[in-house]
Chains A and B, each alone.
Chain A
Amino acid sequence: MQRALSPNIPSLFGSDDSQTIQNAIAAAEADGSRQIVIPRYNARTDKNEWRIPTAILVPSNFTIILDNCYMVQETGIHDNMFTNTNTRNRALVTTPEGRQENISIFGRGNVILDGGVHNRRLEKTCRTLFPDGRGMLPNTMFFWCNVTNLHVEDLHIENQRWWAMTHISCSQVFLKNLDFYAIPHVTNMDGIDLRIGCHDFTIENITGRTGDDTLALTALPQGFESRWLVQGTAPDIHDVRIRNMKSDPYTQYVVRLLNQDGSQIYNLDMDTLMDVSDYATKKRSGSCLCIGSPHYFKERRVKLGELRNITARNITTRGADGVLLGGTAQNILLSNVKTYRDNLVGLGVRDFCDVDNFTVEHFWYDANQQQIFTGRESTPETFPGSAFLLDGVTGSMVLKDIHVGKARTAVTVGAGLDVQVEGLTCELVGKDIDVVPGGSATLDGEVR
């Protein structure tokens, strides 16, 4: 097997580091090795850094090894750090013929990828300040479109300018051992985004701090990404396996699921989600897991059945809502959920959510009911938080093996919702089950 080429070969030097690396990629394609290694030392500049002014275009059947290196996006530029080659030709990449495959980016040693100095391109201002028609996509560090069999592993990413990783119409993707560090000085510093048309992902060991959602699965086919959806494919996101998400998402979500306008999200298996938001910052995360939303639609709101078949187990969070619902949710199992410290609501809802076959089992709610700034407690009737605040949820739900520490109410059931509770223990609550007129609940078979 041929050795990986290094861009430190003088004959490969270009006018800047991106060009140098691109020359190395071309040479590795030509000699058949199809592999380059980017080392720590940059012989062209005699520095231990690689400054990236234009995106590195990655061809199919190619491996890039980042070897103990530091790579930073150049100041003032508006481009990705890595993208697959066909994204430069949107007419091609949005066709089945434009599919690329077998792309790997592996970190070896201590690899740091840095978004550098922000270029002021923000979601709210990009069309006015930078009317180049490209929107926000230039600011995503990794942009993958229509790629199958993609591996990205063992990287530390800092200061992303927008979403660190964006995937549109990608499949068979393996994201592993990725660590983020973002001080949220601008909005929308997500970690990983799966957008329309993504399926068959395995995501494992994602850690650190992001400035927005750490992992967002967002299927909005009427959004900007509609121009990037591969022809003839569905905009749905499905068959995603997630294990060990352990992050601080600032005020947003460790994992967020969002679909509207006829797209679907289904078949998700999530195991071990830990919200590690820093208590000392006095800002709780939004929630550990946000399932759906009634908003963000353009033509029509999500229907029951379009967000379905989701299992999420082993969740730990102090977020404002431990788990947050919105829109619709069908065939959902939440198992072993623990909330603590300044969590407010264990399972809550944004505005409204229609549910079907929704089960929560082994749930511990242990909010301290203290005011976050003053630390004052109050009486159960005036506690700020409740374990299950389901006013706005309609449909049916089963709650099994529920343990509530201190709460205003253990379970608040809204109109149009039927809740069966099997096994409820409460330590100090104002009311165990509060049923709003129009709702119904049973506790261990007895009507409440």
Chain B
Amino acid sequence: MKEFKLQGYVSPEAFPGTPTEQLQKALDVSHELDIGRVQVTGSWTVDRPLRIHAMTELVLDHADLSVSGQFPLLVSSALDDESRASWSFEDKFIRLTGIDAIIRGELVFYHIHHLVLTGLELHQPAKFFFVREVRVTDCDLRGEIGLLIGRGSNNFIVQNLSGTCGKAAVLVDAAAQVGAYVWGKETEVHELILQDSTFRTETPAILLHATEDSQIFNLQIDHITNDGPILHIGDPAETLPETQYYNLTVVECASGASEQVIRNNPTRHCYFA
């Protein structure tokens, strides 16, 4: 125990069991003893989703994490406990720090305040629901969708990404939700800054999907480069009031497509230059 405290991190190799058991034990012990950091190196395959707790930095140092089936690789521990679906019971301060790190499974973040992802190569989406104050930087996105910013999420700074995603590098979807609705939180998606990123995909870099009850607003997109369009707004199969896509800005972007911004829905007070 003292050894963990002095070295400042927990390694899964310190525990017996299957790779999944080792990794989960490391996350649990780090949380219980307030070590605050789990350090993983090498290749690991998990056979069930890992749970990450508050006040944890997961450092993936030359690590390659994958899953053995169709389930997320890592989820917020708050997802297991519906009694925590209230504003007061957020998880705080979670970080995933990668140094030559590859993640081949989904990451599902729910009901978190202060989340940082940096230095990761993501082969599956990182998903965010009712998460606020997030930074995603220096990540390479390889899946069909890179990041899914879902219901109730706000205050993101996303910078220095690269990627070749099949559908979209960033999908902002106010309808997407996992877990229970969090009492005290709005369902809107807002205050997103997406910038300084280069994507190589013919599909839009960023897709927006609002709903009748949840706006997407206060979005700043700048210095994005993509082979295809930069921004795709709305679903052609439904028309929402213009207020549902509101206060959007796209500036100083470069697109190989004929249209930088595709509007499938009316928008309000948007600046696209």
Chain A residues near B (Cβ < 8 Å): 8, 39-41, 43, 48, 67-68, 109-110, 112, 156, 177, 179, 205, 207-208, 244, 246, 271-272, 274, 276, 314, 316, 336, 338, 340, 362, 364, 366, 403, 405
Report the nearest B residue to A69, measured CB to CB.
B36
B4-38 interface with A by 8 A CB criterion: 5-6, 8, 34-37
B131 to A: closest C-beta gap in Å: 14
Instruction: Pick from A8, A110, A112: contact of B57, CB below 8 A.
Output: A110
Q: Is the CB of A179 within 8 A of B271?
A: no
Instruction: Pick from B34, B114, B193, B246: contact of A179, CB below 8 A.
Output: B114
Report the nearest A residue to B34, measured CB to CB.
A48
Q: Is the CB of A177 within 8 A of B222?
A: no
Q: Is the CB of A244 within 8 A of B157?
A: yes
A68/B114 contact (C-beta < 8 A), A41-B8, A109-B36 known: no
19 A-B pairs besides A48-B5, A314-B222 with CB distance below 8 A are A8-B6, A40-B37, A41-B8, A41-B35, A109-B36, A109-B57, A112-B93, A207-B155, A246-B193, A274-B191, A274-B218, A274-B220, A316-B220, A336-B249, A338-B249, A340-B246, A340-B247, A364-B271, A366-B269
Any A CB within 8 A of the CB of B167: no
Any A CB within 8 A of the CB of B209: no
Q: How many A-B residue contacts, CB cutoff 8 Å?
A: 92
A246/B37 contact (C-beta < 8 A), A314-B220, A314-B222 known: no
A314/B249 contact (C-beta < 8 A), A272-B220, A366-B269 known: yes
Any A CB within 8 A of the CB of B133: yes
B61 to A: closest C-beta gap in Å: 13
A405 to B: closest C-beta gap in Å: 8
Q: Is the CB of A177 within 8 A of B8?
A: no
Q: Is the CB of A246 within 8 A of B271?
A: no
The 9 nearest A-B residue pairs measured at CB: A364-B269, A41-B5, A110-B93, A109-B57, A338-B247, A336-B271, A68-B36, A39-B8, A316-B218
A43/B191 contact (C-beta < 8 A), A109-B37, A364-B247 known: no
Any A CB within 8 A of the CB of B48: no
A385 to B: closest C-beta gap in Å: 16
Report the separation of the CA atoms of residues A205 and B220 in the bound assembly, to the nearest whole angstrom: 13
Q: Is the CB of A362 within 8 A of B271?
A: yes
B226 to A: closest C-beta gap in Å: 20
Report the separation of the CA atoms of residues A215 and B37 in the bound assembly, to the nearest whole angstrom: 32
A374 to B: closest C-beta gap in Å: 21
Chain A residues contacting B157 (CB-CB under 8 Å) are 205, 207, 244, 246
A156/B246 contact (C-beta < 8 A), A8-B6, A41-B6, A314-B222 known: no
B247 to A: closest C-beta gap in Å: 5
B96-113 interface with A by 8 A CB criterion: 97
Tier of interface size on chain B: 20 to 34
A110/B155 contact (C-beta < 8 A), A40-B8, A43-B6 known: no
Instruction: Pick from A39, A43, A336: contact of B251, CB below 8 A.
Output: A336
Supply 18 A–B pairs (Cβ within 8 Å), ascending by A. Answer: A39-B8, A40-B34, A40-B37, A41-B6, A48-B34, A68-B8, A109-B57, A110-B114, A205-B157, A244-B157, A274-B220, A276-B155, A314-B220, A314-B251, A336-B251, A340-B247, A362-B271, A366-B268
Chain A residues contacting B251 (CB-CB under 8 Å) are 314, 336
A110/B55 contact (C-beta < 8 A), A246-B155, A366-B269 known: yes
Chain B residues contacting A276 (CB-CB under 8 Å) are 154-155, 191
A244/B193 contact (C-beta < 8 A), A68-B57, A109-B37, A366-B269 known: yes
Q: Is the CB of A110 within 8 A of B135?
A: no
Chain A residues contacting B97 (CB-CB under 8 Å) are 109
Report the nearest B residue to A41, measured CB to CB.
B5
Report the nearest A residue to B217, measured CB to CB.
A340
Report the separation of the CA atoms of residues A239 and B8 in the bound assembly, to the nearest whole angstrom: 40
Report the separation of the CA atoms of residues A177 and B35 in the bound assembly, to the nearest whole angstrom: 23
Chain A residues contacting B57 (CB-CB under 8 Å) are 68, 109-110
Report the separation of the CA atoms of residues A314 and B37 in the bound assembly, to the nearest whole angstrom: 37
B79 to A: closest C-beta gap in Å: 20
A109/B95 contact (C-beta < 8 A), A40-B8, A274-B218 known: yes
B46-83 interface with A by 8 A CB criterion: 55-57
Q: Is the CB of A208 within 8 A of B133?
A: yes
B29 to A: closest C-beta gap in Å: 14
Report the separation of the CA atoms of residues A331 and B24 in the bound assembly, to the nearest whole angstrom: 58
Chain A residues contacting B95 (CB-CB under 8 Å) are 109-110
B252-273 interface with A by 8 A CB criterion: 268-269, 271, 273
